[in-house]
Chain A
Amino acid sequence: MKLSALIDVLTFLAVALGLYFAFIYAPVENVMGPVQKIFYFHVASAWISFFAFFVTFICSFFVLFTNKYIFDDVASGSAEIGIIFCTIVLITGPIWAKPIWGTWWTWDPRLTTTLILWFIYVGYLMLRKFLDEEDKRAKFSAALGIIGFIDVPIVFFSIRWWRTIHPNVLQKGGGGLAPEMLTALFVSIFAFTLLYVMMLVKTSAIKHMFRRYEKIASNKGEI
């Protein structure tokens, strides 16, 4: 079995396990009821978007210092995946907030900084679309990939630095979470990490194939 196929199968199993832990293993929360189960994949998505932008940040340094396009492929692919997960966070958050806070959206520091993060990386992808020259595209977007990452720790620490209504579960003692809930959260984070790896393998392969296609086509005189 090819490695990519093995990752696909493992991801599927991990996601199924994550759903089992979230819906069956973890107890229903006393105050919020079943709607609290949004939490498991909402938090996992937030973590994966942070991780994806971190990979973009690291690979962007390699782009600037090594000039190897493989790092540009991974950086841009990871940013794209980060946006997918950040979008999930920004949509599932308000869906959870409406029945609990009584409002879809509030300009809370955590929510606002997350929205800014989303705009930064959408800007990153737009910048790549507008630049035709390969070298310029790689270097300019690497610079944005490094500067843009500054917002990630701001989002993470926003609930400690400013007054906020957003809950803080990722602290010592699990923020008052029952042990079963904490286990379910870790299982969903693990499942989404595998999902991220699977997506990154695919996006990197696509970018690599596209580069090879362009090279052969330009040698042949088609481009």
Chain B
Amino acid sequence: MKNFWFLFSAYMVIWVAIFGYVLKLNGKMKELKLKLDKLESETKEQ
């Protein structure tokens, strides 16, 4: 297919950027939720 590699690389850029960012957000959310739950339970115990 003519110019296949250009088409392939453009779509790779799009999905890597989008999925990378969404995965980063999900990871951050999970990490923060854990930290927040831990801190809240510690505060309740005091």
* A residues lining the B interface (CB < 8 Å): 33-35, 37-38, 41-42, 45, 81, 84, 87-88, 91-92, 95-96, 98-99, 195, 198-199, 202-203, 205-206, 209-210, 212-213, 216-217, 219-220, 222
Partner of B13 from the list A95, A203, A210, A217 (CB cut-off 8 Å) is A95
Q: Is the pair A45, B32 in contact by a Cβ cutoff of 8 Å?
A: no
**How distant is A147 from chain B, measured CB to nearest CB, in Å?**
26
Partner of B6 from the list A38, A202, A222 (CB cut-off 8 Å) is A38
Q: Is the pair B10, A209 in contact by a Cβ cutoff of 8 Å?
A: no
* B residues lining the A interface (CB < 8 Å): 1-4, 6-7, 9-11, 13-14, 17-18, 21-22, 25-26, 28-29, 32-33, 35-36, 39-40, 42-43, 46
Q: What's the Cα separation between A218 and B40 when bound, in Å?
A: 12
Q: Is the pair B7, A34 in contact by a Cβ cutoff of 8 Å?
A: yes
Q: Is the pair B32, A209 in contact by a Cβ cutoff of 8 Å?
A: yes
10 contacts between A and B (CB under 8 A): A34-B3, A35-B2, A87-B17, A88-B17, A96-B6, A202-B26, A205-B29, A209-B29, A209-B33, A220-B42
Q: What's the Cα separation between A25 and B39 when bound, in Å?
A: 52
Judged by DSSP, the binding face of A is: helix
Given the known A-B contacts A33-B3, A209-B33, A216-B39, are A84 and B18 also in contact in the complex, defined by CB atoms under 8 Å? yes
Chain B positions within 8 Å of A210 at CB level: 32
Partner of B9 from the list A37, A87, A95 (CB cut-off 8 Å) is A95
Chain B positions within 8 Å of A92 at CB level: 10, 13-14
Across the two chains, which residue of chain B brings its CB closest to A11? B22
Q: What's the Cα separation between A172 and B14 when bound, in Å?
A: 28
